Amino acid sequence: MMRERFSVLNHIIWAKPSGRWNGCNKESLRAYFPATERILFAEHYQGPYRPKDAGYAAKGSALKQHVMAPLISYFRDARAALGITAKQIADATGKKNMVSHWFSASQCQSVAVAE
């Protein structure tokens, strides 16, 4: 039932050596008292009974590219007007791997205020 609604990512099992099961009347139990606990890590599918590839992530990415397009073109135009290179921007900000994200639509990341 769990796998029908959730994508199970991982689980952890741990022993409870001094748990409540130590003080129970073991002869009156109908089954063994659990001496372990378990936690399941899972995520919802994107829709009812649908796997992740239902198109939700692709539509979200397309929307982000559409919304960020004016800002990206503003940054590109400003960089072209100033005549500076990506290396100069990386040296000035100290973020050599982020410059490509600031000027491309595929992995657009906004510049933090502190930068």
Q: What is the 3-state secondary structure (H, E, C) of 79-109?
A: HHHHCCCHHHHHHHHCCCCCHHHHCCCCCCC
pTM for this structure? 0.43
What was the pLDDT predicted at 92?
86
Averages of pLDDT over runs of 10 residues in the chain (115 residues) are: 81 82 73 84 73 70 84 86 88 81 69 59
What was the pLDDT predicted at 57?
74
Nearest to 104 by CA among 73, 77, 61, 67: 73
Which residues is 47 bridged to in the sheet? Answer: 50
